[in-house]
Amino acid sequence: MFFGEEVIRSRQNRTVVELCKLADKKGREATKTFRFDGIKLFEEAVKKELEIELVALRESDAARLGEQLARSLGDPFAGVGRILVLCDALFDKISEEKSPEGIITVAKYIDKFQKNVTIYNSADFFNMRNERLVLLESVRDPSNIGAIIRSAAAIGADRMIISADCADIYNPRAVRASMGTLFDQPIDRVRNLPKVIRGLRESGRRVFAAALNESASHLGSFALRDGDCVVIGNEGHGLSDETVAACDGSVIIPMTARAESFNAAVAASILMWEFLGQTKT
């Protein structure tokens, strides 16, 4: 037994039912909480001071995990609202992982970082003038958006601005793909991305659309400046015409004829490295 907790064996348990609901956006929105599996993500959540409401442990792993996490974090469960111990069969059934590590975490939405906002007034653009930005439109695959968040953090994006129809950043697949970088990466979700782009340009920045068209320039064929931004679009359809029209121009990644395109997350990483990861003149 772990912490004297009774082992839960029924999927009809009220807390287990609520935990399962967090696999869907509707359940997450109702409670403003999200779930994620694994030791690494729990450690990152503690280090980055997320508000952890609940931790579910697999019965056969509970004691070992307690000792392991104590070595890396000191008192890992000090700030946890509630700890559950689930029998192995129940834990494995509700886990999002193919090879569960024995821990599921539920945390509050990170509203101080991820905001549903409207960035349309001059003060907002002025405040972002020194930030390295990347913009996303209609990226629908949660794994892709999680991977892009991870790359953005690694390359040094100060802020991501994403359209309202992008995948939910709290989807378990997005959280997993972000490898914990989601927990402190500033992300703003906006309803009118073209208007944001126009505002950025009015503030003196150049914004380029990652789009294949007749006027598109090859990445690396022109000099980039500090403050330049890139907008990355949907996996299959790219960027909307309105978004492309709002930009200064278009850019494409040179590639051989052996493939039609890059994976969206790979393309985003290449573009972010060129726009954000190198010194501009």
Q: What is the pLDDT of residues 64-116, one digit of tens each?
A: 999 999 999 999 899 899 999 999 999 999 999 989 999 999 999 987 555 66
163, 259 Cβ separation under 8 angstroms: no
Pairing of strands 114-116, 82-86: unpaired
Check whether residue 126 and residue 76 sit in a common domain.
no
Check whether residue 156 and residue 265 sit in a common domain.
yes
Q: Which domain holds residue 22?
A: 7-108
CATH code for the domain of 198: 3.40.1280.10
Cα distance between residue 115 and residue 22, in whole Å: 19
Which of 58, 88, 108 is where one domain is finished? 108
Which of 108, 129, 154 is where one domain is finished? 108
Which CA distances in Å does 240 have to 162, 247, 265? 14, 11, 18
The number of CA neighbours under 13 Å toward the Cβ of 71 is 6
Check whether residue 148 and residue 260 sit in a common domain.
yes
Cα distance between residue 211 and residue 251, in whole Å: 6
Residues 6+ apart with CB under 8 A from 8: 15, 16, 84, 85, 86, 87, 90
Residue 60 in any domain: the answer is yes
Give the global pTM: 0.90
Check whether residue 39 and residue 147 sit in a common domain.
no
Per-residue pLDDT, 118: 66
- Low-confidence spans in the chain with pLDDT less than 50: 1, 279-281
Residue 208 in any domain: the answer is yes
